[in-house]
Amino acid sequence: MKGLIVAITCGTYAVEAEGVIYNTKPRGVFRNQGVKPVVGDNVEFDPDNLTIEVIYPRSSALKRPLIANISQMILVFSLKEPDFSYLLAFKYLTYANLNGIRAKIIITKIDKEHDQKIIDEIKEVFNSVNIETYFISNKTHEGIEQVKALFKDEVSCIMGQTGVGKSSLINAIDPNYERQIGEYSMALGRGKHQTKEVILLPYLGGYIADTPGFSSLELNLYKEDLAIFYPGFNTLYNKCYFANCLHLSENRCVVKESVNKKEISSLAYECYKKLSEEAIFRKERYQK
């Protein structure tokens, strides 16, 4: 019988099939093969013995959070508590590109920020790299109706820092989910973890994956990879004069030309330079 792994708790795999949840265990052969089923896997299972027999090929797979077969990332940030960070947003977007997954941004807590210029700047920055950005308030429900359509017929992975309002967003979309909401610690300057597992929630012909919040995200990319997968650059890097262009000091760089023409936001480019400073070169670069 075919099914979908929607949650994993203490080694038990909740598999949904035809509207019924079966609590299953994977066969030992997977352990011997070094294969581990994850949330989002499409599987064949025995409904009598409650064992997972086959894991079907994955269309996508993430290591953090550990999930498979998602069609898009919904990256959630807050304007306040915690404060919005362009650098972190571009890290997440690069991570999405690296894994070949479409990404959109939802920014919460607009009820806590009354300076429209800040919101307009954020829109402009992400528009310049072709990223859809939505602004909402989980408290007042402003913008919620608009973002509901993003999830229709999609398997969406909601990702973001602890405390930005991921679970509140899910509850605002459908109160029946009753996801546990974390608090924001003013003393620590970050949220308190509430969602401790990856879980798929059915919604409008697809699924919404609620995931644990990150306190940080390390890309662990080489400079050359960053130059390819950074948002906005991934469609331009192969047009640069030099095949290994890092978009920094090189001549005839299409990315830098786009920045100079203000087609790509200078703020987006400054974040790129900071991330590039943190990255290292490939070893092959020095083996000549």
Query: At the fourth CATH level, which superfamily is domain 62-210?
Result: P-loop containing nucleotide triphosphate hydrolases (3.40.50.300)
Quote the distance between the C-alpha of residue 136 and its chain's center.
18
CA atoms of 212 and 221, how far apart (whole Å): 23
CA atoms of 186 and 265, how far apart (whole Å): 32
CATH 1.10.40.50 fits 223-286, yes or no: yes
Which tokens is 36 given? 């581990």
* 175-231 residue pLDDT tens: 888 765 444 333 334 434 345 689 999 999 999 999 987 767 888 899 999 999 999
Q: What is the pLDDT of residue 17?
A: 97
CA atoms of 54 and 41, how far apart (whole Å): 10
Range(s) within the chain of domains with CATH label 3.40.50.300: 62-210
Helix or strand run (H / E) with residue 92? helix 86-98
Range(s) within the chain of domains with CATH label 2.40.50.140: 2-57
CA atoms of 4 and 2, how far apart (whole Å): 7
Taking a C-beta distance cutoff of 8 angstroms, is the pair 259, 233 a contact? no
What backbone torsions phi and psi does residue 264 show, to the nearest 5 degrees?
Answer: -110, 135
Fill in the DSSP letter of residue 183. Answer: P
Question: In terms of C-beta density within 10 A (0-12 exposed, 13-18 middle, 19 or more buried), how is residue 33 classed?
Answer: exposed
Taking a C-beta distance cutoff of 8 angstroms, is the pair 231, 90 a contact? yes
Range(s) within the chain of domains with CATH label 1.10.40.50: 223-286
What backbone torsions phi and psi does residue 256 show, to the nearest 5 degrees?
Answer: -65, -35
* Fold category of 2-57 in CATH: OB fold (Dihydrolipoamide Acetyltransferase, E2P) (2.40.50)
Does the predicted TM-score (pTM) go above 0.75?
yes
Q: Confidence class of residue 114 from pLDDT cuts 50, 70 and 90?
A: confident
Does 253 have pLDDT greater than 50?
A: yes
